[in-house]
Amino acid sequence: MDVGSAGNFTRMGTLGVEEEFYVVDDAGRPTSGTDELVYGSEPPAILDDRLDHELFKCIIETQTPVCEGLDEAREQVVAVREALVEHAAAHGYDIAAAGLHPAVRWRELEHAEKPRYRSQLDRIRYPQHRNTTAGIHVHVGVDDAAKATWIANELRWFSPVLLALSANSPYWEGYDTGLASARAKVFEGLPNTGMPTAFAGYEKYARFERLMVEEGSIADRGELWYDVRPHTEHGTVEIRAPDAQSDSDRVMAFVEYARALVLDLAERYEDDPEPWSAYRRNGRQSGTGASGGGLRRELLDENKWRALRDGHDATFVDRDGAGTIGLEAVVERETDRLGVEGLRTLLDAESGTRAQRRHRREGGLDAVCASLVV
């Protein structure tokens, strides 16, 4: 049975980064290329066993090796991207990145023949047939399974912040959805996605994971695609909120913040393994709280909706449940609290969503597609 183990949580603060990209032709349009790039040729050594395809033959995924810190992660993210671009170019392709490619038309795309994906199409049906999404997944190592589950619970409030800062997918099949991250909404059409519930300990999560496999709801633990989750195979907390990005500096800003959040929460867990919240008062949670810590699931869903709708203009129900806070204020608070630098850079820069709309106004769809090439 393909489930993980508490014994896999052994290392604190390691990093791994998975990125999904589009294989595109010389006009910047998605094209079937993964058969050749993944199976039909020998990729550069750095991509050996770290290159895979997704459901559609135009989407390709890379993984860095396990990295000890931010500097190594940065080196590996850049090196893996450069290797992928060179590998694709040698076979007549380019590589592009966004949460959704604006020119993709899912009815016209080829599906991978891999049994895992054929099984998903049979089981999930329409929602998986249209799942042309691409994202960034950041793994941060945690040295204890119970700690990892607690951290994943607490990270749920911060996940929409990452989504808002990363929003890079306003177009769906060429149509302006009015959303900042249409990817997040398209992906939520699949089962076992979106904002997870809080789990009261690792055993509760492991029991849920096992039940889903045993009852045939999922083929393996990897099909629990929540925005944040304990990764029971890699021994990490995995953050899956951000849209894909063409700029590696943006990717590393998310990696920096994700690692800082996990390390900070790990310290809080060591000090007091009760659910941490800025709004715990005299040992009692406010009326908006719920067992397991944090705001009610419905309010966390509301924050995600605000993030995917408004991007850099988003406001959120704050952690105390007593009012709202804008993205800029969150960034200022987190920058000061954690000493991270990349969040402010992300906020000050033109968002991916705004850039895509600007390119569309100035040069049409061709300009948008060109802007996404890595």
The pLDDT tens digits for 225-238 are: 999 999 999 999 99
Nearest alpha carbon to residue 227 among 261, 196, 181, 185: 196
| C-beta separation of 196 from 159 below 8 A | no
Q: What is 309-349 written as a DSSP string?
A: HHGGG-EEE-TTSSSEEEHHHHHHHHHHHH--SHHHHHHHS
Residue with tokens 């810190």: 69
Query: What is the C-alpha separation between 116 and 111, in angstroms, rounded?
Result: 11
More confident of the two residues 12 and 322: 12
Q: Is the pLDDT of residue 283 over 80?
A: no
Asked if the model's pLDDT at residue 272 lies above 90, the reply is no
pLDDT over 80 at 33, yes or no: yes
Q: Mind giving me the DSSP string for 208-238?
A: HHHHHHHTTS-SSGGG-EESEEEETTTTEEE
φ, ψ dihedrals at 140, nearest 5°: -120, 125
Q: Which amino acid, residue 229?
A: R
Rounded Cα distance between 87 and 102, Å, is: 24
**CB contact at 8 A, 345 and 331:** no
Which of 115-124, 274-283, 304-313 comes out lowest in average pLDDT?
A: 274-283
In percent, how much of the chain has pLDDT > 90?
A: 84
- The model's confidence at residue 276, banded by pLDDT at 50, 70 and 90, is low
Total residues belonging to the chain: 374
pLDDT attached to residue 4 = 85
Tokens encoding 254: 């998310």
| pLDDT (tens digit per residue) in 318-361 | 988 889 999 999 999 999 999 999 999 999 999 999 999 999 99
Query: If you average pLDDT over every residue of the chain, what do you get?
Result: 93
What are the structural domains, with CATH classification, of the chain? 6-14+112-276+286-371 (3.30.590.20)
Q: Give the pLDDT band (50/70/90) at residue 136.
A: very high
pLDDT band at 280 (very low <50, low <70, confident <90, very high): very low
Is the pLDDT at 285 greater than 70? The verdict is no
| pLDDT digits 0-9 by tens, 64-86 | 999 999 999 999 999 999 999 99
Q: What does the block give as tokens for 124?
A: 């999930």
- Residue 161 clears pLDDT 80, i.e. is over it: yes
Q: For residue 290, is pLDDT > 50?
A: no
E strand map for the chain: 15-24, 51-53, 59-63, 94-96, 136-141, 171-172, 175-176, 193-194, 225-226, 228-231, 236-239, 315-317, 324-326
Residue 242, Ramachandran bin (φ over 0: left; ψ between -120 and 50: alpha; else beta): beta
- What is the distance between the alpha carbons of residues 222 and 211, in angstroms, rounded to a whole number? 14
pLDDT at 100: 98
Mean pLDDT across 31-44: 95
**Residue 116: per-residue pLDDT:** 83
Residue 273's pLDDT is: 74
Mean local confidence (pLDDT), 219-226: 93
Burial class from Cβ neighbours inside 10 Å (0-12, 13-18, 19+) for residue 132 reads: buried
- The residue assigned the tokens 């009852």 is 215
